[in-house]
Structure 1
Amino acid sequence: MEGSKTILVVDDTPENIDVLVGLLSSEYRVRAATRGIKALELAASDHPPDLILLDIMMPEMDGFEVCRRLKADPITASIPVIFVTAKIAVADEIKGFELGAVDYLSKPVSPPILLRRVKTQLALADQNHALERIVAERTAELELSRLQVVHCLGRAAASRERGSNAHALRISRYSRLLGEEAGMGPTDAALLLNASLMYDVGKIGLPDSALEVASNPGKGARAVIEAEIKMGVRILGNDNSDLLTMARTIVTTFRESFDGSGYPRGLTGRDIPLVGRIVAIANMFETLTTQRAQTEAYPVPEALIQLEACAGIQFDPELVRRFCRAEAEILEIKSVLGD
């Protein structure tokens, strides 16, 4: 019966199981369980059923509870459940649908109706799975397009620098590394990798004369950088996606200092969002280790010493310690993304 669907029949009465197996076995693979707990095990196995025919009146765990648990578990929630029961009260039927069942048949079953309902629900399940795949594919395409735009913005901002195009890429890798060292999970660390590419996106909207002022500490530099922050927020817009929300947080907070002397808001300590504290360290490390027209690049060990000297003043001391402990990974990033 290669390619046929699998039906799980759950009923505490063997005679009822025999009837349903007899009706279904010519078209479907049929498995059976006489207890609710066994039904849950089979549904969550490596070979789950495509549909479940579920009795309600069973010992230990009734069908309502089995259905509730099936729908509460992401692994089994999408398996369609048809109640097949002698409980024919309207209230029972309503309860079954509220718990997530797709149909409700009363005993004794009519063979033609049973077979038609099973066929219909299997076809609907196939359609739902196909739609889910289409949605997932379209979502992936949109996410890829969004990431491509992010990388374009990162490259555009980097083009305003006189340094290497790898500058923003290294900062993003350092940021992800430090995020992972700080306990971020894979999803948040991946978001940080991409969001941190836009840390300086506001440079796109500033004239060269303003960037010259901002690159030289002194009178007027802070005002220009604050204008850059506002421009960055404007460029990123009001999109509420996780990626652009994190990017806006980075743009507006990575110049804050742990002791409150930074800007634009003078935040202190852990009032500064974690991603802002992380990118602040990554950006400074990149600045220290990059050859520029007026400054020599520090070797990595000396740059880390410089960071440690600013721990508790400009940077979160715990994050600095975690970053310094990852020296081997830092050197690998510099090797792969060297100028």
Structure 2
Amino acid sequence: MMTTPLQAKPTILVVDDTPDNIDLLCAVLEHDYRTKIAVNGERALKIARGEAKPDLILLDIMMPGMSGYDVCKALKADPATRDIPVIFVTAMSEVADEQLGLSLGAVDYITKPVSAPIVLARIKTQLSMKRVHDFLRDQNQFLVTEVELRTREIVALQDVTIHTMASLAETRDSETGNHIRRTAHYVKALAERLRTNPRFAAFLTDETIELLFKSAPLHDIGKVGIPDRILLKPGRFEPYEMEIMKTHTTLGRDAIMTAERELGIEVDFLKYAKEIAYGHQEKWDGSGYPLGLAGDAIPISARLMAVADVYDALISRRVYKEGMSHEEAVAIITAGRGQHFDPDMVDAFLALQDEFIAIAKQYADSDQDMERKRETLELFTKVADAN
């Protein structure tokens, strides 16, 4: 018959200041368990907190220095030792003593003189319960880890989806590259500033602001449906061309809705992308498009984007024009307060001018970017002339 290897036996820490009690308990335990010994509370805590923790502790109450009660309190207060089962083994036999011991976190209470079969039975029961507890704790931790992993994967999938869709818009409009990055940061800065405003506090939570930041790059996704002869045209549009260009808001919203219908579900993280794509050309006074919404009827997400989009369009240089100065752009946006833009959002913009300037510099179009855009425009012009 094979015996259980010594290292596979559970370890019991016996804590008592009386040698005879220690000898008795060790004799009871020696066939089934490994034993460690501590003759005072301080030594018991040191062993319990060590690298090789005991599986269970048999703890006397009446000891010099720290009492068993004090030791139990310290064990249960320490995350590293609170899951170790404690059984009091003591000569204190009053009901109040047992009640206090159990209230401190002990799993059992044995009075002296001890009965070997009772001690072994109580230990076996508590170790079995500990194994179940440890299994459930490990399973719970595994599930928590899995949920965290899946959540990170979902967030990454959202980011990739938005980035891919935004990149699609970039391939159709060479002017949009750093524009979509700048406007995303402008939107986030405005949202952070406005989150303490009573009009917006309930809406602008941490989660919403993060979704707005991620969704902002899709504001012009509908431009993928605009013909090249209009989308890439330098200078002003003819009236009929402008009407076609205006449809990019509806095209963008509908593209996202079509994707959702194909999936068979409405995707929460694209809610604000639809609002922004469809509503960022609406104006506070109702003179915008596509619906002519006014005031608070315009989604907050779209109002934020309106400020960010116009500011960046004003200061950005194009192949066919130089960008305005920051001061000129500020003057135009200020003049649009209460007409084009939500007044509170303009006030937030004015308070964030330094941050807007910093964002514009960090994501500025390089000379290489402008050369690439110039070449694209020249190619388009040649193709248009040939046709």
Please give the range of the TM-score, normalised by the shorter of the 2 chains.
0.5 to 0.7
CA deviations 1:4-51 (Å, max 9, x no partner) are 9xxxxxxxxxxxxxxxxxxxx8415799999xxx99xx77x8769458
Establish whether residue 117 from structure 1 lines up as the match of residue 137 from structure 2.
no
Map of 1:1-339 to 2, 5 A cutoff?
Answer: 26-28=54-56, 49-50=82-83, 110-163=122-175, 165-183=177-195, 184-209=204-229, 211=231, 216=237, 218-219=239-240, 221-226=242-247, 228-235=249-256, 237-238=259-260, 240-339=266-365
Q: What displacement does 1:232 show?
A: 3.6
Q: CA RMSD in A?
A: 4.4
Mapped to 1, the partners of 2:225 and 2:84 lie a distance apart of 57
CA deviations 1:63-114 (Å, max 9, x no partner) are 9xxxxxxxxxxxxxxxxx9999xxxxxxxxxxxxxxxxxxxxxxxx954333
Unaligned runs of 5+ in 2: 1-9, 11-47, 49-53, 60-66, 87-98, 109-120, 196-203, 366-387
Mapped to 2, the partners of 1:82 and 1:283 lie a distance apart of 64
Q: Which has the larger radius of gyration?
A: 2
Mapped to 2, the partners of 1:82 and 1:275 lie a distance apart of 56
Paired letter, 2:224: I
Kept in 2: contact 1:229–1:252 (CA 8 A): yes
Kept in 2: contact 1:158–1:167 (CA 8 A): no
Paired letter, 2:227: P
Kept in 2: contact 1:256–1:267 (CA 8 A): yes
Give the paired residue count. Answer: 276
Tell me: CA distance 1:28–1:324, structure 2 relative to 1, closer, same or farther (3 Å): farther
Q: What displacement does 1:210 show?
A: 5.1
Mapped to 1, the partners of 2:58 and 2:329 lie a distance apart of 67
Mapped to 1, the partners of 2:81 and 2:288 lie a distance apart of 57
For the residue of structure 2 that corresponds to 1:267, the secondary structure is coil
For the residue of structure 2 that corresponds to 1:303, the secondary structure is helix
Paired letter, 1:201: I
For the residue of structure 2 that corresponds to 1:219, the secondary structure is helix
| Greater shift in the superposed pair: 229-238 or 121-130 | 229-238
Compute the TM-score of the two structures, normalised by the length of structure 1: 0.67
Mapped to 1, the partners of 2:247 and 2:81 lie a distance apart of 57
